[in-house]
Chains A and B, each alone.
Chain A
Amino acid sequence: MKNQGSGLRCQVSGRQFSVLGFQSSVVRKVMIAALVAGLYGAGVPASAQPQPIVLKGGKLLTVSHGTIENGVLVMEGGKITAVGSAASVKPPRSAKVIDVTGMTVYPGLIDSETSLGLTEISAEAMTNDRIELSDEIMPHMHVYDAFHAESELIPVTRLNGVTNAIVAPDSDDTLPGQDSFVQLAGASAAEMLIVRDIAMPLNFTGAQRRNESWEKRKFPETRMGMAAQLRQAFLDAQDYQQKAAEYKKKKADAERDKKSPPAAPKRDLKLEALLPYLEGKKTIILAAESPSDLETAVRLAREFNLKFVLNHISHSRPVLDYVASLKVPVIVGPIYETPKDYERFDAVYSLPAELHKRGVKIAFASFDAHNSRNLPYQAGFAAGFGLPADEALKAITLNAAEIWGVADQLGSLDAGKVANVVVANGDPLDVKTDVKRVFIGGEDVSMTSRQTRLRDEYAAK
């Protein structure tokens, strides 16, 4: 998450509250959901879909294979089982048929970075579990340990068609912890956490320096310090990895020679957490803004052969060809990031289009929680600055699914994928479009939230 604030103004927002000192006192909250331990994802949850559902007559934006006018989409057992024209698809007999004539139907949207489930009221410290600021290197922090499945923000978000999200800690540590990939519906956190440790942010934007004030400054207060600290962390992890390998070999030798086993090395959760990344099994999300930070971060990642995608790069416009040469996807945005004074007003707005032009795969992220529901508008705005509209939709569906390795399950309207499907009365990217129905795992999700309940309560008065 980004902190863009510069002081107490009329509102005290999530973006501004680090200035007010709330983040430093973030205290871990008692977990509400009982989570099943384990590092790896449990896969897509079992479906709660009671009967087959057919959406008939809508305009299907498949994302993967164009638009189907007057289409039919069948959901069964939580999956999409058929997609096609009215003539080509025969709905199952027992199905509940919903006429969606005049509506658009598109895959559930994927927000590639949020703090959903880690925050409730931005300025109220006790309702926030966004980041551990006690140290800069915190890879053993797991979002799934704090993810609040009952958060009021989740229904608000899914009402706008966002069905999946990356949940990440805030970005004020270089290594703040590991992200989870969630589905925004489910009976419990265990069901909603699709992939528990999906990726790890490595933040190198300069905001991670501990140079808040002359009195409070401590190591690392420069980018040199940040880089040195990161390098040491990965070196320590390599050393840990080597010791673990040696132990494994000695243990095997001892077993073979029927000798007493060697003493196991002491476990270090911090270093252990870095291993899947050192081994290239998982993805690092490399965040930088300026060209110099970007190049330093990439150099660091290459020193340790880390597999990475890029994040933000909002002020790296002069080096977009270099970015393209890296052949990695970019999580763009928020495109509302204010340009530097030396940049044109649209320097950040048009970044998605410029990256797309260079063949870079992009995905949008809200980098927010309360406003995650506005993810599609960011894509729509980028379309106003030259990103083709179908690519803009792809950047909040299929591209995101591909980047996060779940494209076999999500991101498009294709038979065999999880039935995360949205029905709306217009262009998914437009602010005026009203989302009418959301299906998650084939389940017709209730279109209510705390906000609709307040609306209905006072409208009735």
Chain B
Amino acid sequence: MCRSTTIGRWLSFVLICILGACCLAQQSNPPVAHDVVIKNALVMTVTHGNIKNGSVYIKDGKIAAVGESVSAPASATVIDAGGKYLTPGIIDSHSHLALDDDVNEATSPVTPQMMMQDAFDYQDKAIYRALAGGVTTSLLLHGSANMIGGQAVVIKHKYGADRDAMLFPGAPRSIKFASGENPKRVYGSRHELPSTRMGNFAVMRDAFVQAQDYMRSWDDYNAKVKRGDKDATAPKRDLKLEALADVLRGKLLVQIHCYRADEFLTEIALAKEFGYHIRAFHHALEAYKVPEKLAAENIGIATFADWWGYKQEAWDAIPWNAVMAMRKGVRVAIKSDSDDFARRLNQEAAKTMRYGGATEEEALKMITLNAAWIIGVDDKVGSIDVGKDGDLVIWDGYPLSSSAVPNKVLIDGDVFFDRSLPGYGMPHYSEGQ
């Protein structure tokens, strides 16, 4: 498939414009994604098996065809994968990168009005380093100092693009809750509430009771307006209670940092008491003790593969946790919670094949489709299916191994990382220009 001469000239012109722009600014916006065909790949679709010698056609940034052969216009850019493995981009369902340590507003145990987007440092090189490890999407969460932390931001790792281009379009809102040792330690060390698990949950209950009142006052007001009551006065807006009211209205995905089996059950009871649903428990190192309870509530987990012992509530962690929970019907994701682990989530997922015998597809799902479900973007990313975003990784080596390294990473059909390039290996970024 050769480009026509005219298109070639046109592309050269575009390229010159881009290079020119590079000279003016440190970072340049990537060009509009054009048509791309990746051919001669071992395609690991995640949803419908592997395709040997497969091709993927990406049109306008979306996957338009997948198969042993695909039909694409002659103008499409062809990437010959040379028989290498092709997977969906890795999705990290628990990250704190690019937040410049603005992770915890640890001045009050209830801070749902914090927006991680306001702290998002789109120039943080950690985004690039994770990208070079195959990560294309991350959920950037508030820390765990607070029982109710802030609202997350979902990003695509388009390093070199501008800030807004990195925000995942249409991703649902998530909020971070925490429990256990961290809030206890942070506030307990200041002799404030909470310093016990009793205090932790009392703080939450209190916040939701206030939110119920707030929601009621707005519901009353809206009803009055609807009735045509001209004397209706709007209640004062309170960002904190508004966010909690949105939790009660089911508008936010609730992501809860929680380690212990008994605390999962308390969290579930609290959610039922106030009528919200829990999307996922994060860390969830004791999920293997009560997997049926989580499966029954359709609560996913975002867990570590084998990390343990770093604190008391991580003492009963076992590396079989992910697969034991999965076998009982829990949707399991392996996440990083670390700028370091984010760079090798494929190895972390591969550990589940050894500890408990996850299949290749099950292991891969834990860092793609299941992670996407936790974030609420599984209709857009997480597998190689027609209609999904062109977020793909070409690997040097078998991805579920110690020695695999991403060769190229595409986001929305555009190559954002290419290991074969000098410097940082990023087509859309160069330092100091």
A binding-site residues for B, Cβ under 8 Å: 4, 6-14, 17, 20, 120-124, 153, 336, 338-339, 341-342, 344-346, 369-371, 373-374, 376-377, 380-381, 383-385, 429-434, 451-452, 454-455, 458-459
Contacts and interface: CB of A to CB of B under 8 A. Distances in A.
Given A8-B104, A345-B132, A383-B403, 12 more contacts: A10-B94, A11-B307, A12-B182, A124-B311, A369-B309, A370-B307, A371-B307, A381-B344, A431-B402, A432-B353, A432-B354, A451-B319
B283 interface: yes
Nearest to B311: A123
Given A345-B132, A384-B403, A455-B324, A374 B182 contact: no
Contact of B354 (A9, A434, A455): A434
Interface string B406-423: 000000000000010001
Interface string B87-113: 000000010100001011010000000
12 contacts: A7-B101, A8-B104, A11-B307, A12-B182, A121-B312, A371-B307, A377-B347, A384-B402, A384-B405, A431-B347, A451-B318, A455-B288
Closest 5 CB pairs of A and B: A380-B402, A384-B403, A345-B132, A123-B311, A13-B310
B401 interface: yes
B182 A381 contact: no
B306 A374 contact: yes
Contacts of B419: 346
Interface stretch (B1-9, B141-149, B293-301): B141-149
Given A8-B145, A383-B402, A339 B347 contact: no
A431 B354 contact: yes
A380 B347 CA distance: 10
B315 A121 contact: yes
A430 B401 contact: yes
B404 A384 contact: yes
B199 to A, nearest CB: 18
B132 to A, nearest CB: 4
A384 to B, nearest CB: 3
Tell me whether chain A's interface is mostly helix, strand or loop, or mixed: loop
Nearest to A461: B289
A454 B316 CA distance: 8
Contact of A432 (B145, B314, B396, B400): B400
Contacts of B391: none
B229 interface: no
Given A121-B310, A431-B354, A458 B340 contact: no
Q: Secondary structure of the B side of the interface?
A: loop
Which of B101, B125, B339 has the largest count of A CB atoms less than 10 A from its CB?
B125
Contacts of A432: 350-351, 353-354, 400-401
B168 interface: no
B181 interface: yes
Contact of A11 (B337, B339, B347): B337
Interface in B316-341: 316-320, 324, 337-340
A121 B350 contact: no
Nearest to A345: B132
B141 A10 contact: yes
Contact of B288 (A121, A124, A384, A458): A458
A34 to B, nearest CB: 26
Given A381-B347, A384-B397, A454-B318, A12 B324 contact: no
Nearest to B404: A384
Contacts of A121: 309-312, 314-315
A12 B203 CA distance: 22
B282 A123 contact: no
Interface in B129-156: 129, 132-133, 141, 143-145
**Looking at B94, B96, B320, which has the most chain A CB atoms within 10 Å of its CB?**
B320
A92 B265 CA distance: 58
Nearest to A452: B318
B320 A10 contact: no
Contacts of A9: 96, 103-104, 143-144, 337-338
Contacts of A380: 401-403
B176 to A, nearest CB: 9
B143 A345 contact: no
Contacts of B143: 8-10
Interface string B163-205: 0000000000000001001100110000000000000000000
Contacts of B320: 451, 455, 459
Given A345-B424, A381-B347, A370 B141 contact: no
B33 to A, nearest CB: 23
Nearest to A124: B312
Contacts of B347: 377, 381, 431
B218 interface: no
Nearest to B123: A341
B324 A429 contact: no
A345 B419 CA distance: 10
Contacts of A153: 309
A339 B318 CA distance: 30
Contacts of B397: 384
A134 to B, nearest CB: 22
B259 to A, nearest CB: 9
Output the residue of A17, A338, A452 with the most chain B CB within 10 A: A338
A379 B400 CA distance: 16
